[in-house]
Amino acid sequence: MFAPNWPPAELHNAFDWVIGIFIQFAGLEARERQFATMKQLACPGGRILLHGYTPKQLEYKTGGPSVIENLYTQDILCAAFDDWEIEELLEYEDEIAEGLRHNGRSALIGLIARKP
């Protein structure tokens, strides 16, 4: 997923916002690397915004990952960002209309976390 030396040092602490929207097609090990990389990219006081699906999405079958290990829960995100200030963490359901494979009722989760 990521090259071993990525992100390069010049990108560490470089961004006010690092955003991941529906990036849940990676298993646990890759997710840990994704989150670590996102944390490196954010500057002090910067934020990460994540938006994805919860395990309930498997019931709806309206898009997203097909394996539970790739879905986010509040516990997963709280643990992953326990060293950051979680400004918002919200699970909710909504109707999505984003093409044939992402259409209908969806179980969603959103996070905004601020780097110390």
Looking at residue 100, what is its pLDDT? 79
Looking at residue 2, what is its pLDDT? 59
Residue 1 lies inside a defined structural domain of this protein: no
Range of the domain at 71: 45-116
Residue 35 lies inside a defined structural domain of this protein: no
Residue 111 lies inside a defined structural domain of this protein: yes
Contact yes or no for 96/51 (Cβ under 8 A): no
CATH code of 76's domain: 3.40.50.150
Looking at residue 99, what is its pLDDT? 81
The model's pLDDT over 45-85, given as tens digits with 9 standing for 90+, comes to 999 999 999 999 999 999 999 999 999 999 999 999 999 99
Looking at residue 98, what is its pLDDT? 84
Residue 83 lies inside a defined structural domain of this protein: yes
Give the integer Cα–Cα distance in Å for 111 and 86.
Answer: 7
pLDDT over 70 (residue 112): yes
Q: What is the pTM of this model?
A: 0.91
Tally of domains in the chain: 1
Residue 64 lies inside a defined structural domain of this protein: yes
Answer with the residue of higher pLDDT: 102 or 88: 88
